[in-house]
Amino acid sequence: MSILGVLGHLNYEPWFALAEYVDNAIQSASKSFAQIVRVEPKYRLRVDIDYQRENGGRIVIADNAGGIAHQDFPRAFKAAEVPSDRTGLSEFGMGMKSASIWFAQNWRVVTTSIGDPTEYSIEFNMESVLRDQVEDLIVTTRPSPPDAHYTRIELWDLNQFLPGRTMGKVRDHLREIYRGFLRDDRLILTVAGQNMEYEEPQILRAVDVRSEANQDLSKEPKEWRKEVDFAFGDDVKVAGWCAIRAEGRTSGNGLSLFRRGRVIVGSGESPYRPTRIYGGGNSYRSQRLFGELEITGLPVSHTKDGFQWHGHEEEFEENLRAVLDSEPLPLLKQAEHYRARQASKQEQKRIREATENTADVVERELPTALAEVIKDPADSPVPSDADTSEDDVGDVEREFSFDHQGRTWTLRMTASSRPGEARWLVRHVEAEPRTGDVTAHVVLNTAHPFLKQFALGSTDAIEAVLRIAVAMVVSESVLNSSGEGEIAGTFMRQVETLLSGALAKRLRSDA
């Protein structure tokens, strides 16, 4: 009982806790596969994770795996009772129990295994179990088709909730943790109604950057991907591949370290980028180098979110670095220098043209526009936010929440065509006096001349403008909270005046 009491205080992340259920389903399906395919020749494992925030919160994890056999109940529901087969993803005898107790005060397991005409249900009330030191659990039964096989775990009265941003992280981590099972169709995984699919990054195909200065090197384009296979420490083996992305990006890169087919380290927003390999800061290598490495012979933590290196991590990194930069395909040198030396001429042309056009427009239009900017803000032709009611804001396109310094921010974003609206950005911000919680609605007026001229031609452009709009509204709210509301309001009106006039004009079309 004392072990169960401790499990609620584990330092879990929600995606690793949910991964425990997926691991169990994969293990169960593998164990019962021969039996299942006899009655379902086209069988595929499916795991559905559903979440409801209302009424104390509820999470349901349902799978069509092999179920928990009745004879396995004494082990399955006892903490730290390790399974007889520890070669798969379920090896500590803790996953379902620890994740469920961490997530919720109450949980129920409903299951049946193939060939058993009975469905079993076991319910846990953790407050009662710990208070009364309950050592026996009541199993309720009802008839079930003998060919049925499934497990459904229901969690309610949650200790841990999954708000919008956290749910996004859960999806990102789980699709990457189980990418191997998703890409070869061994697993169908849904999270809160969304089907998880892993998008394979495109690998760079280009000439060796060193060929410009070295005539002995081929100038033929090649794919920058290489196999990795080495051993270190006490018979620890590493196998897989590393490559360079075709397009650099500041997020989503790094190494993913696998064990038994699933990612242990390097998923979601937690990339594995050891300094010995990637260098410091936002290097070009950190924007391009990625890979998948299966590690055999190295134990993991019981929450399966890290390897136990036993002092050998430095040796692993040194060996890997040597392999990655070996000839004839030195990935690190190529990743570091390709972008710097092969900067897109088309991108440079666009940057130069945009800079020159902006400078020409500012030189021509800004002197006149300044007269509008520096006059009394009360005379500004742009309507003030005080005139904006909640009814003006329009239909909600996207809403999300996050917590920061004890306050909850709820942000709603809408893109709406409003030809009669003078502003490019309509905003409605409220702060709850007692808690300081902020609710902000940001409406981007796509009929505004500035957006029509410069943003509506590409997704990236409209996204960039929308991100700037969100940043400005959040900054304005912070200034209001600190007593600088008048300055913030004046600033926003001046920006509006400039974007509605001088900076909304396109040089080429005016000429």
Q: What is the pLDDT of residues 93-114, one digit of tens each?
A: 678 888 998 999 999 999 999 9
Per-residue pLDDT at 117: 96
Cα 59 from Cα 402, distance rounded (Å):
20
- The model carries a pTM of 0.67
Residue segments in the chain with a per-residue pLDDT below the cut of 50: 340-343, 377-396, 508-511
Residues of the chain with CATH 3.30.565.10: 2-195
Instruction: Report CA 378 to chain centroid distance, whole Å.
Output: 45
Cα 44 from Cα 453, distance rounded (Å):
50
Per-residue pLDDT at 82: 67
* Most distant pair of Cα atoms in the chain: their distance: 85
CATH number belonging to the domain at 2-195, selected among 2.30.38.10, 3.20.20.150, 3.40.30.10, 3.30.565.10: 3.30.565.10
Per-residue pLDDT at 390: 39
Per-residue pLDDT at 168: 92
Per-residue pLDDT at 455: 73
Per-residue pLDDT at 253: 80
Fold classification of 205-341 (topology level): Ribosomal Protein S5; domain 2 (3.30.230)
Per-residue pLDDT at 394: 41
Cα 443 from Cα 427, distance rounded (Å):
6
Residues of the chain with CATH 3.30.230: 205-341
Per-residue pLDDT at 260: 94
Per-residue pLDDT at 420: 75
What Rg value do the Cα atoms of the chain yield, rounded?
A: 29
Q: Which residues contact 464 (CB under 8 A, 6 or more apart)?
A: 455
